[in-house]
Structure 1
Amino acid sequence: MKRFMNIEPSPALRAFLTLLPFIIALFAYSIASEARLAENPHDKLLPSFTQIADAVDRYAFTENKRTGEYLFWQDTGASLYRIGLGITISALIGLFIGLCNGLLPTLRAGLSPFITIISLIPPMAILPILFITFGLDELAKVMLIIIGTAPVIIRDMQSQVMQLPQEQLIKAQTLGASTWQVAIRVILPQIMPRLLASVRLTLGAAWLFLIAAEAIAAQEGLGYRIFLVRRYMSMDVIFPYVIWITTLAFAMDFSLRKISEVCFPWYHQGAK
């Protein structure tokens, strides 16, 4: 008798099971929305799909009369610029410091405890300090993402370097490799896929920090727009924005995974 834990779904069944929770959620929302609107046509908590579609049309496909901009795409561009810059800088910092910490015991002894303490500071707690120090422009928002994600990536990279087989490092040194050559030719190729995986794991936190920063001090951005319309209970605007943020985060995660699979196929051998 084949055990349930050993049964692999077919591609068609896998696709159906993937879509099923979304279908159930949409069906449940539709019923709840119709029930609330039937009781109160002016209810804003659960707008109908028609109301949501109208809001999307207003924000994404209709020019703003005051600025001439399409607010939805303007907000998207601003948020993507901030999170893209913040995550890229965090990845570079995490790779460099994490590699050095993992490879150099002297540097690790002095820097690793400091990085650990920094990583334990709640980034949201120092948000007012960032705004006071860097102002209300883009730098403070990007710095919040960096402070919130870079220490985590550094610790992950350091751990990955220290887990590499010592035999590899010893053999490279026996063949005459310098510390720099060991770092570039032996360690770096092996930790690059893990860097992409680490960035993927920090994407959720990065979006959280971005939305929080935009909600407090911004003139455009997805988080700014959500907190701007919440005072009017405009759920027909908030829902599409939340779904769009989730879609963007998923697209970024999916892209990083595909890049890793294409560039480092050996890292994903055996993974399903």
Structure 2
Amino acid sequence: MRLINLIPARPAAIFLAALPFIAIFAAYSIGSDIRLEANPQDKLLPAPSTIAETAQRLFTEPDRRSKEIFLWNDTFASLARLFGGVGISALLSLLIGLAIGLLPYARSTMSSFIAVLSMVPPLALLPILFIMFGLGETSKVVLIVIGITPFMTRDLAQRVLEIPQEQIVKAQTLGASSAVIAMRVALPQVLPRLISNVRLSLGSAWLFLIAAEAVASNVGLGYRIFLVRRYLAMDVILTYVIWITILAFIIDWLLKTLSRKAFPWMESGL
């Protein structure tokens, strides 16, 4: 039988899904044991037990001076910035994508501009954003918007252009206006792609958020990681990295579930 036709059973599929994580954990544990055996004071690869103890402390023990749990404060601050930036990006990309895909004048005016904008490295604009918007929340949200909106817009516009022309003609024959065509014909077909684009853009959004927090912030997951690096506190850094990964996975899972429930006909393996 050809390999292309071999489909693993559910237990085998679960094991295969867990296998890369098990391999990474095993490799890290072995590397940590080797380094700690050679130098018990080594901080580069703390033992998994040390990371677990640090995680428990970070999640449960408040700071002695402020009486606040920094990890939760950092989490809430970062998620607020992330949701703000991604939400604005999703709305802008939806509106602009519909306009470019449906309106020839908008397509002629904006498609080239969006294409060029998508080539600009967003992190190179970070100093400009800090000068224009200051070091507060606005510059961090704007960086996320600039970073992911052009790519989402181009993909959504392409999806609108792929709508069969017969549907547009039939809607016009029935007397539908441009706004009605956008809302009743294009929008239902674009929304599943929008959710997919948001899922694919989350990695970049996290990257821009952490970079902005590392440069100028006093709270946030990225801020805390770059704050403790001067002390070589790898147990804290790894705890934060793992926590960010878990948050990203949860958000992606929620979006996938939303897409599957709202648009079951568009369900994919992503």
What TM-score comes out, normalization by structure 1 length?
Answer: 0.97
Partner residue, 2:140? 141
How big is the shift at 1:119? 1.1
Partner residue, 2:157? 158
SS at match of 1:46: coil
Partner residue, 1:177? 176
- Count how many residue pairs are aligned between Structure 1 and Structure 2: 270
Residues 1:60 and 2:59 are matched in the alignment: yes
SS at match of 1:120: coil
Partner residue, 2:97? 98
Partner residue, 1:235? 234
How big is the shift at 1:124? 0.3
SS at match of 1:108: helix
Partner residue, 2:8? 9
Residues 1:48 and 2:53 are matched in the alignment: no
Residues 1:125 and 2:158 are matched in the alignment: no
Distance 2:52 2:266 in 1: 43
The amino acid across from 1:94 in the alignment is S
Unmatched 5+ stretches in structure 2: none
Distance 2:262 2:19 in 1: 33
Aligned 1:213-224 pairs, distance under 5 A: 213-224=212-223
Listed one character per residue, the Cα deviations across residues 42-92 of structure 1 (whole Å, up to 9, x for unaligned) are: 000000122212221332110101211111111111111100111011000
Residues 1:78 and 2:72 are matched in the alignment: no
Listed one character per residue, the Cα deviations across residues 199-251 of structure 1 (whole Å, up to 9, x for unaligned) are: 11111100000000000001111100110011111111111111111111111
Distance 1:65 1:136 in 2: 28
Distance 1:271 1:65 in 2: 47
Distance 1:139 1:271 in 2: 36
What TM-score comes out, normalization by structure 2 length?
Answer: 0.98
Partner residue, 1:115? 114
Unmatched 5+ stretches in structure 1: none
How big is the shift at 1:267? 1.3
SS at match of 2:23: helix
The amino acid across from 2:60 in the alignment is F
Distance 2:179 2:42 in 1: 65
Distance 2:140 2:197 in 1: 21
Residues 1:245 and 2:237 are matched in the alignment: no
Partner residue, 2:23? 24
How big is the shift at 1:24? 1.6
Distance 1:116 1:4 in 2: 40
Distance 2:124 2:30 in 1: 40
> Identity over the aligned pairs, expressed in percent?
53
The amino acid across from 1:25 in the alignment is I
Distance 2:72 2:133 in 1: 26
Listed one character per residue, the Cα deviations across residues 83-129 of structure 1 (whole Å, up to 9, x for unaligned) are: 01110110000001110111000111011111111111100000000
SS at match of 1:69: coil
